[in-house]
Structure 1
Amino acid sequence: MSDEAAQLTAIRQQIMWRRLIAVVEEQAQVMIRTAFSTTVREAGYLSAGVFDCAGRMLAQAVTGTPGHVNAMSESVGHFLRKFPAATMRPGDHYITNDPWLGTGHLHDFTVVTPAFRNGVMIGLFANTAHVIDVGGLGMGAEARSVFEEGLFIPIVRCFEQGRPSEIFFDILRAGTRLPVELEGDIYSLCACNDAGARRLNQMLDEFGLDGLEPLADFIFESSLRATEAAIAAVPQGTYRARINSDGYEAPISLAATLQVDEGSITVDFAGTSAPSSRGINVPAAYTRAYACFGIKIVIAPDIPNNWASLQPFRMVIPDDCILNAPHPRPVAVRHVIGQLLPDLMMGCLHQAIPGRVAAEGSSCLWNPPLRGGALVSGHDADAAQPNHAPLPDFEVITFNSGGTGARPGLDGLDATAFPSGVRTMPVEITETVAPIVFWRKELRPDSGGAGRMRGGLGQIIEIGARDDQEFACNAIFDRIDNAPRGRDGGHDGAAGRVGLVSGAALRAKGLQIIPRGERLRLDLPGGGGMGDPALRDPAHVAADVHDGMVTREAARLVYKVAIDPSGAVDPDETSSLRSMIEGDRAP
């Protein structure tokens, strides 16, 4: 083949690769448009991807979360072991929410669907979505085993050659507080895979292909070569870090030793705390998912995510640690621990390539599951309040985020979900599907860690039930006793707080009643700062004060910037404040 022909072939393959990514993105968008749960249609808490017939992920949708996508990349292999490709037929759909074969907890349903072309199977589509309710104790940390956490579905066929399994759907509907929503979500998951298969066939028609094998070879070879080259640019060596979580019954410590070799990176989690008796444990697949993500976004952020680009990252997870929880440990809120892992990975990589790593952020989502009506008080209790119409039964979850850590050369992002990437749910949507009122939702001043680059701000959120009636919050929060840490002289972000508007403190984890006449108040953490705050541009400090992100007092005491009554920087007093610091630093 001539050089010109080889170049044209490479261009054609690259175009097909991009088209394949567009196919799975459309797959994800179909789910968003058809889902019943607000977690999917409003927050984008999902993943979608296409796999070859051996179960290797070829492409993933941009829409989605790392915990779903990277864990789902392992899931398809489990499906094929239960139902070999030779047994699959057009119109079949397979499903599970097994935390150890799926994406980490019972609230995530994974659906795998074979794709056919002219009667021959050419690949598989898979997706995962987070649903609101699967029965049991609900999404919280209080269970002592996975059996208490809800409906457990092994890998089974939910549609056979286009026909729904009535036995499966009968069991599904009987096991949840929200049967219409859950059944609708399963139909949505199956529909989005079907949409992906149709679009894939249209793509193959356009390019005159019978299957995915030549394109898969190109994708895998290119991705592996590019990832190995990115690893080669990182100084070889051994790097260690540790990060702490509030835990449940006791604090949790996560430890990592990251070894950079030629063409591969190995992470050993020896030294990490033992499993918990409560539902904050993490299945190994979810650990690998977020650890790989934390490394990849630093060293190879532009390389598409697929089976080959994940191969150079290897995880050694001891059997006796919280990051490798065995069945039947409770795992409902595994994200509280698991979403700290990218910060842990960046703590290691900061020692090797400090100019590419952010400070710590709020990390795990602050997504309070809220419950009310007879699910909390009982019908008799509601009837005893003649002046108020009883609350209808409801179970709802809303996604909120604190601040991300400051970045080299850039401030952190305010109220932004990292590493999960889910969208904040509009309060109006939550208020339309449940008798909940958001009385306050605003950025939290001074919560971003001070630094040359400031950490992102957290939020203050106040939530009440209609007519100030009683409701419950299944608290699943962290970063209260362990605030996000700054880097390179940057200050820590503000720690989180959970309480009532009246001032009473609540526990960070566990089901708690918000009494009649009270409201839940959440103070979300801010991200850590980066660099000495006294080196921050005074004009940026003044802009922060003007925007309400930093108070005048903090500007003076922490950043050593004086703001005059007009809101402008007082140059003389600022110079004096900063010269005093230089004097203190002198030997």
Structure 2
Amino acid sequence: MTEAFDPITLEIYWNRLISAADEAATGLLRTAFSTIVRESNDFATVLMDRRGESVAENTGGLASFSCILPRTTKAFLEKFPLETWKPGDTVITNDPWIATGHLPDFTVVTGIFHRGRLVGFAGSISHSPDIGGSLWAADCREIFEEGIRIPITHLLREGQWNEAMLEILLGNVRVPRQVLGDLQAQVVANEVGARRIAEFLDDTGLDDLEGLSAALQERTDRAMRRAIAELPDGTYAAEIGADGFDAQKTLIACTVTVRGDTMQIDYTGTSPQIDRGINCPMNYTHAYSVYPVKCALDPFTPRNEGSYRAITVTAPERSILNPLYPAPVSARQLTGHLLAGAIYKALAPVMPEKIIAECGGAPTMRALFSGARADGDSFSQVLFASGGMGAAPHKDGMAATAFPTNVGAGSIEAYESVAPITVWKKRLRQDSGGAGRFRGGLGQEVELEIRTTTPARLSLLSDRHEHPASGILGGEAGGPSVVRFADGSKPHPKSRTTVPPGARLTLLYAGGGGYGPPRERDRDAVRADLADGYISPGAARDTYGLE
């Protein structure tokens, strides 16, 4: 039985908790060392109750991280039961099968104490600038090549840092100062969240978060079930092909079953796991299955643990969506980001007004450069940029915007300040948005130059070269991804490449798919696209039929 809160009080309390999570996120942003956090938003902060169930998430964090963090916290509690936690304890892991699906993400959780009692947990996840091993790469054959794996362990014990663990970790990464700085920022974020929860309990007179947590989760569960119940019962299926790795093409088979106010998403028929790093552990598969459903069916209710109770997700063991240890998983997003498109494609016949076409930014294309600066210091830097979103039922897709992830691109000036790389060009890519009644979002063109004195390393994590984002309900596919050097040669789309000093590289990010038949597009909208340079005269004439 949940504790009774009147609706107004519940709304006020919930908004204050979300504000506390946002303040924790601000603490992380302002103290982090890497541009991955400060510029590209690759993190999340979550406040949880004693059971490890989420109560509030920061509004701008990665939804996949926010969905996974409570699952990881429950794993922490299996190893360190509630009665063993003391004030100042902070626990960490980056185990892909316990946490976010690959090694570069650190999950850090701190106990929240109030009047001497453990009342909850403040958690954060952040993508580290380096994790050792092969760099962030897709071409490894087992996880041992991909970097150092930290099992569930104490990062701080009663406020004291675990120096032995830090010494091992920092001795295995290329940019230890940035790695340590970001970890310290995560601890700061958790401490901010913990302080705000203690203040909240003092101000409200509540003894703990249990009754409030149950009430909030009941509210979000009810909202999602109400939305699912509006769909007709039935089983809906779709398949999506992906580039895979060389000859090993991959397929995602998705079956969505709606029964009353529940939904089951099953991936039976999906390709088996492969010996390359595009396998996607189950935590990540679950997160990027339930989050797109939340976006489509219940976009306005804030998220917490209750948002996903009505949805179950299953995938066969040893498939690319449920690989077994020690499978390589470093580029798991190249598979996981495709799930939203598969789910929406399956549900398009019964909820066409609530889904979008496939996104060119799903999966995101990442280029990681590493090497030595002129002064001999090491650098390791990821270029964050996005393709176009898929078109929606009532509007064009957004250009150069990722979905289902919401990682940003960040400032090019900040990027250039921390890496010996010059970005010569960054502009929208004409004709890359899939044609339709509503046009897919445009991808972008990025041209950069390596300004090192010795060869650098490029690790490319990309897809959509052979399988561009498809349109939906008569819409056309967006433009494919292309990566090439100035001499016309192309690096492997999912492998590491040695890049000579002075080399120039052009990356063409994929466009989103279109929605509806192109000839039904508003004529004034076609003329505006032509005037803005979003489409060429040939596309206006031949594809849209503009006279």
Q: TM-score range by the shorter chain?
A: over 0.9
Whole-Å separation in 1 of the counterparts to 2:461 and 2:349: 32
Report the equivalent of 2:212: 215
Equivalent-residue separation in structure 1 for 2:492 and 2:42 (angstroms): 26
Amino acid at match of 1:336: L
Whole-Å Cα distance in 1 between the matches of residues 377 and 205 of structure 2? Answer: 56
Q: For 2:405 and 2:59, how far apart are their aligned partners in 1?
A: 12
Query: What is the DSSP-based 3-state SS (H/G/I as helix, E as strand, rest coil) of the residue aligned with 2:236?
Result: strand
Larger Rg: 1
1:545 is matched with 530
Where does residue 193 of structure 1 map in the other structure?
190
Query: Does 2:419 match 1:434?
Result: yes
> 2:251 is matched with which residue?
253
Equivalent AA in structure 2 for residue 78 of structure 1: A
Deviation at 1:525, TM superposition (A): 0.4
Matches for 1:181-580 after TM superposition, within 5 Å: 181-249=178-246, 250-362=248-360, 363-373=362-372, 392-466=377-451, 470-561=455-546, 574=547
Distance in 1 (CA, whole Å) between partners of 2:424 and 2:70 is: 41
- CA–CA distance in 2 between the matches of 1:349 and 1:468? 52
Equivalent position of 2:36 in the other structure: 39
Distance in 1, matches of 2:429 and 2:472, equals 21
One-letter identity of the residue aligned with 2:364 = L
Deviation at 1:303, TM superposition (A): 2.2
Query: Taking structure 2 as the reference length, what is the TM-score of the superposition?
Result: 0.97
Deviation at 1:159, TM superposition (A): 0.6
Aligned to 1:384: none
| Partner Cα separation in structure 1 for residue 454 and residue 466 of structure 2 | 30
- Provide the C-alpha distance between the structure 2 equivalents of 1:203 and 1:538, rounded to a whole number of angstroms: 55
The superposition leaves residues 162-211 of structure 1 with CA deviations (integer Å, 9 ceiling, x where unpaired) of 11111111112111111111111111111110100111111222222221
Q: Tell me the distance in 2 between the aligned counterparts of 1:517 and 1:226.
A: 55
**What is the CA–CA distance in structure 2 between the aligned matches of 1:455 and 1:33, rounded to whole Å?**
35
Tell me the equivalent position of 1:3.
Answer: none
Contact 2:451 2:502 (C-alpha < 8 Å) held by counterparts: no
Number of residue pairs the alignment of both structures matches: 542
Q: CA deviation at 1:287?
A: 0.2
* Matches of 2:368 and 2:274, distance apart in 1: 21
Write the distance in 1 (CA, Å) between the matches of 2:261 and 2:452.
61
Match of 2:20 in 1: 23
Maintained 8 Å contact 2:451/2:501: no
Instruction: Specify whether residues 202 and 435 from structure 1 end up closer, same or farther in structure 2 by C-alpha distance, changes over 3 A only.
Output: same
Aligned-partner residue type, residue 196 of structure 1: G
Q: Measure the CA separation in 1 of the matches of 2:503 and 2:172.
A: 32
- In the aligned structure 1, how far is the partner of 2:335 from the partner of 2:449? 28
Partners of 1:110 and 1:213 lie apart in 2 by 23
Report % sequence identity: 38
2:44, 2:66 within 8 Å by CA — same for their partners in 1? yes
* CA drift at 1:66: 2.2
Distance, in Å, in 2 between the alignment partners of 1:467 and 1:103 is: 33
Q: CA deviation at 1:132?
A: 1.4
Q: Is the 8 A contact 1:76 1:112 kept in 2?
A: yes
Q: Following the alignment from structure 2 to structure 1, what is the Cα–Cα distance between the partners of residues 343 and 466?
A: 21
Quote the offset at 1:77 in angstroms.
0.4
Report deviation, 1:469: 6.3
Q: Displacement, 1:248?
A: 1.0
| Aligned-pair CA distance for 1:392 | 4.8
Q: Please report the RMSD computed on the Cα atoms of aligned residues, expressed in angstroms.
A: 1.4
Aligned equivalents of 1:501, 1:66: Cα separation in 2: 37
Q: Which of structure 1's runs of 4+ aligned residues deviate more than 4 A?
A: 389-392
Q: Deviation of residue 391 (structure 1)?
A: 6.9
Q: Which residue of 2 aligns with 1:379?
A: none
Cα distance between partner residues in 2 of 1:149 and 1:65: 23
Aligned to 1:386: none
Confirm or deny that 1:144 pairs with 2:141: yes
8 Å CA contact 1:226, 1:303 repeated in 2: yes
How far is the alpha carbon of 1:71 from its aligned partner? Answer: 1.6
Query: How far apart, in 2, do the equivalents of 1:28 and 1:115 lie?
Result: 16
TM-score, normalised to structure 1, is 0.90
Quick one: distance in 2 between partners of 1:483 and 1:100?
A: 29
Q: String of CA shifts for 1:245-268, please: whole Å, max 9, x gaps.
A: 101131100001100011210011
